Structure 1
Amino acid sequence: MNTKAFFPSKIKHPTSKTAILDSFSVSNFFAELKPQHKLIQSQTWADSHIDLLALDLKPAANIVTIAAGACHALAYLSAKPAAIHCIDNNPAQLALLEIKAKALIHLPDYDAVLKFLAQPHQSDNLKRYQRHLRANLSDQASHYWQKRNLLGRPRYYAFSENLQEHGYYNSSLRALRFLLTQLGARFDKLHLAKDLAQQNQIFEQDILPALQNKYFQFLIQRRYVLNRLGFNQNQITRLKNANQEELSQILIQRLRRLLCDFSIKENHFAQQVIGQTYQIQQQQSLPLYLQKEVFSQLRQFAHRVHPHQQNLIDFLRRQNKQSIDAFVLQDHLDYLHPNEIKILWQEINRCAAPGAKVLIRSLGTQLPLPQVVFQSDETPNWQTDSLRNQSLQNKDRCALYGSLFIFEKPN
């Protein structure tokens, strides 16, 4: 089955902008602009189990989500949706989404999918790409994966190395982790922990001293470092407003929760942060979309994933009234100006079917929706349950966000 139509035949690529260094200051040297046409993240930093629990998707649901690393979107296929529309301005993220979905469809079996997407150092993945995937990719995705990097190797070689180590944010995280190990952090000891009590003890004795190092404390509060880790200025502001503590202390608290509140053996987010690869022998340790129990469903419905290279507001403007059952915004609102949020929410109001849900995450602890979005007479009385929101947030194994909100449109 050839699925060339997975991508629309023509995609308008936004004009690329060249960043010009206007000085040789240290901050400008390190404040590299986020590359708009390169892979930003190779996995989604959001817990798909929590998403599905929060959204309670019914079969044949029509879903709109930010594409990100694609893990969450593919996990939603387990709910048998009618369509999952994945929105992103970055063609690299959409190329990642497509090759992951095509792997579910075209690779011979579950074992081949697991080796291609989850196991590092699999030289046979180059053959899997050539034999099963290349001919089934859209022209846009094929062009992306065939393009050579600075070392002269095609990008699809990432699948023969460690896919989870690729991406703009991932390389920054790797550099930060290396620095912490040089300062004495022993992340490797977490692998030996038998329970949460031991994880907490190892964190206190072998990781926290490096995090409290003055040099690291200074570095982690620099804006250019935070930008490299994926935090824009709006998110930095929200993070600072979370409470009155130092920004570095807030980040340490989030990291403590990630590494101490959930079993390392069952938390692939923690494993990625400490530099551990997916533990394929333990199914509960894998992202949901890579677990064997949902493989047959994902394989059956993967053709219902639809990538769209455009702005979310522009996409929604083209949708019919009351046609969408779920909106997964993740932390997208953290990046928007209040006026943009108002326009976006107007389109959500128009497109939302009765009973539709909106999932929002934020780096801060406050709802990133300005009050003005609820002041229009045309706005339905969206409902949310603060206790349930907090309960879902407490269960989220990613642990790096400060809040999670679910809004439901009344029937």
Structure 2
Amino acid sequence: MNTKAYFHSKTTILDSFSASKFFAELKPQHKLIQSQTWADSHIDLLALNLKPAANIVTIAAGACHALAYLSTKPAAIHCVDENPAQLALLEIKAKALMHLPDYDAVLKFLAQPHQSDNLKRYQRHLRANLSEQASHYWQKRNLFGRPRYYAFSKNLQEHGYYNTSLRGLRFLLSQLGARFDKLQQAKDLPQQNLIFEQTILPALQNKYFQFLMQRRFVLNRLGFSQNQITRLKNANQEEISPILIQRLRRLLCDFSISDNHFAQQVIGQTYQIQQQQSLPLYLQKEVFPQLRQYAHRVHPHQQRLIDFLQQQSAQSIDAFVLQDHLDYLHPDHIKTLWQEINRCSAPGAKVLIRSLGTQLPLPQIVFQSTETNWKTNSLHNQALQNKDRCALYGSLFVFEKSC
């Protein structure tokens, strides 16, 4: 796989240097945004029901979900992202599955913190197998003079723009009295609920925290786009914090902490490698042989999703995983994107959409064409949403194209 064309560098010009503009609008396009995908791969597979030899297109994000899809023996997984850092992350995770000696080495490299031997694993097994662009990204030194691949000797899950913001938010809540450490000791869901009510909810209801949750620059730092902020405000009459508390409650109380790596990351706990069911699907031992066999079918593309689709043949794609991509787009852009999805989709193709809001982020105009024959089941969508352990999104939608 030639990846040179997929890591083309782009230049971003800032038109303002005001503090509010900086925090509210600046997107570190060439820096790692997230080191893991905040979407439940188990739910994705239930929603898409992928058949062997499927041709899949997805937003790259943290790569966890895309690699999990390898368990279905796809023909190709095209991971599209404008950020070369996310594609470099995707590539090194895929190459780790392919070239590290065994499953234990993969688990230590991608899931376990404080593994100094990971530096040797990178040098011996991965560096020579990376594309020139990905190698350049991981070899580049940070402000402290260390190459970026040192992240794998620390704790990969603590790296990334949003992960840093999450750590700051967790520290603030701990200063306000939240006891996330007690959640780790809970033995069942009733105990999790009790600990949440007694030791975490008061901090979330603190006036200082509530004030911060109304500040746009804080929400931007946590990964909320302006469109998503607007959706949340409209859903709760201009108050965002109650919705955030409700979703955090669901994340920390509706699913066992020991089985939920999303909750573990939020409360500052590392992956529980002794419990396979708590690991992201792509790191579980039972799927490792298939992921290792098919990891070469992951293809990174550094470009806009609409540009990638315009280059594809008609009826050539079996599944589209948009994550919350539509939350960031103007309705006119969504219309254009959906036209390309409709053109590229094979009969029976599925589209998976998540949204921070509770309403479908597709304008009605996309369904007014007689050429669009898409169906969805609201009850099925809600059932999938209820099972999603990430719990931070407000809705999930699966569309299927009629044959």
Matched, 1:377 2:373: no
> What residue in structure 2 maps to residue 191 of structure 1?
184
> In 2, are the aligned partners of 1:357 and 1:406 still within 8 Å (CA)?
yes
Displacement after TM superposition at 1:220 (Å): 1.2
- d(CA) in 2 for partners of 1:77, 1:290: 12
Correspondence list, 1:206-225, <5 A: 206-225=199-218
Matched, 1:14 2:7: no
Letter in 2 for 1:366: Q
Counterpart pick for 2:382 among 374, 387, 390 = 390
Counterpart pick for 1:364 among 337, 357, 366 = 357
Displacement after TM superposition at 1:358 (Å): 0.1
- d(CA) in 2 for partners of 1:63, 1:368: 21
Matched, 1:400 2:383: no
- d(CA) in 2 for partners of 1:245, 1:233: 13
Letter in 2 for 1:410: S
Counterpart pick for 2:173 among 169, 174, 180 = 180
Displacement after TM superposition at 1:21 (Å): 1.5
> What residue in structure 2 maps to residue 326 of structure 1?
319
- d(CA) in 1 for partners of 2:387, 2:232: 20
Displacement after TM superposition at 1:250 (Å): 0.4
Letter in 2 for 1:238: R
Residue 399 of structure 2: SS of its match in structure 1? strand
> What residue in structure 2 maps to residue 49 of structure 1?
42
> In 1, are the aligned partners of 2:4 and 2:132 still within 8 Å (CA)?
no
Gaps of 5+ in 1: none
Q: Percent identity?
A: 85
Matched, 1:230 2:223: yes
> In 2, are the aligned partners of 1:19 and 1:33 still within 8 Å (CA)?
no
Quickly say closer, same or farther: Cα 1:32–1:371, change in 2 above 3 A.
closer
Matched, 1:39 2:32: yes
Q: Deviations over 1:34-72 (max 9, x none)?
A: 200000000000000000000000000000000000000
- d(CA) in 2 for partners of 1:241, 1:32: 21
Displacement after TM superposition at 1:206 (Å): 0.4
- d(CA) in 2 for partners of 1:263, 1:140: 40
- d(CA) in 2 for partners of 1:35, 1:356: 33
Letter in 1 for 2:390: C
- d(CA) in 2 for partners of 1:9, 1:361: 29
- d(CA) in 2 for partners of 1:202, 1:19: 47
- d(CA) in 2 for partners of 1:265, 1:210: 23
Gaps of 5+ in 2: none
Counterpart pick for 2:152 among 135, 154, 159 = 159
- d(CA) in 2 for partners of 1:178, 1:31: 21
> In 1, are the aligned partners of 2:181 and 2:267 still within 8 Å (CA)?
yes
Quickly say closer, same or farther: Cα 1:345–1:31, change in 2 above 3 A.
closer
Residue 321 of structure 1: SS of its match in structure 2? coil
> In 2, are the aligned partners of 1:34 and 1:228 still within 8 Å (CA)?
no
> In 2, are the aligned partners of 1:390 and 1:404 still within 8 Å (CA)?
yes
> What residue in structure 2 maps to residue 258 of structure 1?
251
Matched, 1:97 2:93: no
- d(CA) in 1 for partners of 2:7, 2:181: 45
Letter in 1 for 2:134: A
Counterpart pick for 2:141 among 148, 153, 161 = 148
Letter in 1 for 2:108: K
> In 2, are the aligned partners of 1:239 and 1:247 still within 8 Å (CA)?
yes
- d(CA) in 2 for partners of 1:10, 1:39: 16
- d(CA) in 2 for partners of 1:10, 1:330: 21
> What residue in structure 2 maps to residue 338 of structure 1?
331
Q: Deviations over 1:234-262 (max 9, x none)?
A: 01111122233721000000000000000
Displacement after TM superposition at 1:9 (Å): 4.6
> In 2, are the aligned partners of 1:382 and 1:409 still within 8 Å (CA)?
yes
Displacement after TM superposition at 1:289 (Å): 0.1
> What residue in structure 2 maps to residue 246 of structure 1?
239
> What residue in structure 1 maps to residue 267 of structure 2?
274
- d(CA) in 1 for partners of 2:170, 2:156: 17
Displacement after TM superposition at 1:28 (Å): 4.5
> What residue in structure 2 maps to residue 86 of structure 1?
79
> In 1, are the aligned partners of 2:7 and 2:84 still within 8 Å (CA)?
no
Residue 241 of structure 1: SS of its match in structure 2? helix
- d(CA) in 2 for partners of 1:378, 1:44: 33
> In 1, are the aligned partners of 2:23 and 2:220 still within 8 Å (CA)?
no
Q: Deviations over 1:98-119 (max 9, x none)?
A: 0000000000000000000000
Aligned residues: CA RMSD? 1.2
> In 2, are the aligned partners of 1:62 and 1:324 still within 8 Å (CA)?
yes
> In 1, are the aligned partners of 2:56 and 2:317 still within 8 Å (CA)?
yes
- d(CA) in 1 for partners of 2:343, 2:23: 42
Q: Deviations over 1:126-170 (max 9, x none)?
A: 000000000000000000000000000000000000000000000
Residue 354 of structure 2: SS of its match in structure 1? strand
- d(CA) in 2 for partners of 1:29, 1:37: 16
Displacement after TM superposition at 1:325 (Å): 0.2
> In 2, are the aligned partners of 1:241 and 1:364 still within 8 Å (CA)?
no
> What residue in structure 1 maps to residue 198 of structure 2?
205
> What residue in structure 2 maps to residue 126 of structure 1?
119
Runs of 4+ in 1 over 4 A off after TM superposition: none
- d(CA) in 1 for partners of 2:50, 2:309: 20
Q: TM (normalized to structure 1)? A: 0.96
